Structure 1
Amino acid sequence: MSRDLQSENALKAWGFLMVLALVWGSSFILIKRGLVVFSPGEVGAFRIVAAGLFLLPLSLPRLKNLNKRQVQNLIIVGLVGSFIPAFLFAKAQTQLSSALTGVFNAMTPLFVVVIGALFFNSRITKRNGLGLFIAFIGVVILLTVKEGVGFGSLTDINAYAFFVLLACACYGLNLNIIKFRFVELKPVAITAISLTMVLPMALIYLFAFTQFSFKITHVEGATLAAGYIAVLGIVGTALALILFNVMVKVATPVFASSVTYLIPIVAIMWGLLDGEQLLAGHYLGIAAVIFGVWVGNRR
């Protein structure tokens, strides 16, 4: 590869990295805006509907070439990689700031390691273990920080943070399934088809079991809130995943994974701009989580 081409790819990689950090880091403030009008279930379902419909033209031509095993695995990927986390993040942010949600989301790479070791015969290195321990300390700090008293007891934990950690576990399972069971399918196809698999469930739930249709026509501000969620689904889920896959091709996996460290920074900036307050203990926990993820992800 010529030096000019290497420089061009490096410039593209950095551009993709900055865009992805901004897009994924902004996801949490968009969820917050959607929750102003809609319930967590409505936010989660409409996010999947928006992303699934957008990627439908990419997935439909590929459906006829799938075998039964691929269909089963793609349904699982759609559920744990998109559908369930969309609901969990929305539920968490009813009681958790968008900034802290973005920080907890940084635990995803470590869940990839743990779930890989538990269910896919992967190996946890000493570096992985050290990173997990440091990040775990950071999570405990974030869970127990209390205004005016420094740190509360374990009984004072904000349990809604566990919705985010469960979503990270879903992402960890999803990435291991893609790695070990989808050697023959390209990542863009996996993303598009898996969203198509869960699209009917999201549509049925949204229009048969929620008040989404009523709110969109009768509640003030509903159209704007729905717009935020649509951007979240189309840009933050569909286009961002495609962009990430393109970035992996022009950069190393280690470089691509560094977006994990930038997402919390963007989420925190949005949260502070929106009037959210972080205590000194929060910054200590945030630093521990990001440092732990960095240590655990180093090659």
Structure 2
Amino acid sequence: MGNIRSRWIILIILAIIWGSSFILIKKALIHLDPVQVGALRIIFTGLTLFAVGFKKIPTVTKKQWYYIAITAMIGTFIPAFLFSFAVQKIDSSIVSILNSLTPLNTLLVGSFFFGFSFIRKQLIGVVIGLIGALFLILKGADLNPDQNYLYALLVVIASIGYAFNVNILKKHLDDLNALTIVTGNFIIIFIPALIVLYSTGFFNMTTISNAESSLLYLVLLSVFGTAMAKTLFNKLIQISSPIFSSSVTYLIPIVAIFWGVLDGEKLYLGQFLAGFLILLGVYLTNKKK
């Protein structure tokens, strides 16, 4: 009973945090480019985690480091840059809706690569969700010709990375402390992020002084949207199922759309219907009976 209550509390907290992440990325992009935003997000998060989780690292075995490294790249490093490029080109609220593909991809990846089973109703949910995603992209490109909806594919790729990440965590790292896993992730990708950031010329003092507000948004995004949220998410995976954990994407669009509308973004009826199809698909994939 305690686990049931805990997982729902964590789910709601994650929805609020991650739902707000998209608008924070958008604001950070005002004075920084997508590569800088992605790299700085990793660096700030790493510094936060090293302060609180470094002492647990010696408990990690060599085999666990192998899986931690994989999840670090496909579940954090690459998506950080993909989302930055996507939010730069299309509305943050649309990005959040497309992110809802994660549970669908989690089911497919879990079935094809990790031996997890599914029923016909769940497969129907995947098909409905993918149709909704395709409609959302095509309708968005038609309604917003000034936005490049090819960048929506970056969100789809990121969601596939998240799907592999969730399944690897559940199958191979379920016995490892959540904070230890996420700290290990950032130990792996911290130096690569520094190298990427240096290559952009960010450390020019003029660049830094002109980007103070963007840096503040990134600090908020990193401390809450990545460090705290990833630790909570890993904990959620351990006390629930991969599909339940990924269903946080039910609630993320609601929060993200709220912030997007406040920031002047517009959603049309066709886009709402496409979003509904995606969430309906996610709902069906979560129905075991």
State the Cα distance separating 1:25 from its structure 2 match: 0.2
Q: Does the 8 Å CA contact 2:74/2:164 hold for their aligned counterparts?
A: yes
Q: How does 1:1-299 map to 2 (within 5 A)?
A: 10=5, 15-145=9-139, 158-206=149-197, 208-214=198-204, 219-220=209-210, 222-245=211-234, 257-299=246-288
State the Cα distance separating 1:243 from its structure 2 match: 3.1
Measured in 2, the distance between the counterparts of 1:13 and 1:179 equals: 15
Per mean C-alpha deviation after superposition, the further-off stretch among 71-80 and 238-247 is 238-247
Measured in 2, the distance between the counterparts of 1:183 and 1:18 equals: 22
Measured in 1, the distance between the counterparts of 2:63 and 2:104 equals: 28
Measured in 1, the distance between the counterparts of 2:72 and 2:286 equals: 25
State the Cα distance separating 1:32 from its structure 2 match: 0.3
Measured in 2, the distance between the counterparts of 1:93 and 1:273 equals: 16
State the Cα distance separating 1:134 from its structure 2 match: 0.7
Kindly provide the amino acid, as one letter, of the partner of residue 186 in structure 1: N
Query: Please, what TM-score do these two structures have when normalized by structure 2?
Result: 0.89
Deviation readout 1:2-59 (Å, 9 max, x if unpaired): xxxx6x974x655544332111101100010011111111000111111111111344
Q: Secondary structure, in 3 states, of the residue corresponding to 1:275?
A: coil
Q: Does the 8 Å CA contact 1:59/1:196 hold for their aligned counterparts?
A: no
Measured in 2, the distance between the counterparts of 1:180 and 1:218 equals: 42
Deviation readout 1:84-130 (Å, 9 max, x if unpaired): 10000001112111000000111111111111222222223212211
Q: Secondary structure, in 3 states, of the residue corresponding to 1:160?
A: helix
Measured in 1, the distance between the counterparts of 2:11 and 2:117 equals: 28
Which has more radius of gyration?
1
Kindly provide the amino acid, as one letter, of the partner of residue 164 in structure 2: L
Kindly provide the amino acid, as one letter, of the partner of residue 99 in structure 1: S
Unaligned 5+ segments in structure 2 are none
Q: Secondary structure, in 3 states, of the residue corresponding to 1:145?
A: helix
Measured in 1, the distance between the counterparts of 2:118 and 2:4 equals: 32
How many residues align structurally? Answer: 287
Kindly provide the amino acid, as one letter, of the partner of residue 192 in structure 1: T
Measured in 1, the distance between the counterparts of 2:241 and 2:170 equals: 16
Unaligned 5+ segments in structure 1 are none
Measured in 2, the distance between the counterparts of 1:282 and 1:201 equals: 37
Measured in 1, the distance between the counterparts of 2:140 and 2:60 equals: 51
Kindly provide the amino acid, as one letter, of the partner of residue 225 in structure 2: G
The alignment-based identity, stated in percent, is 36
Measured in 1, the distance between the counterparts of 2:112 and 2:233 equals: 26
Q: Does the 8 Å CA contact 2:166/2:242 hold for their aligned counterparts?
A: no
Deviation readout 1:160-199 (Å, 9 max, x if unpaired): 1110000000001111111222243122211111112111
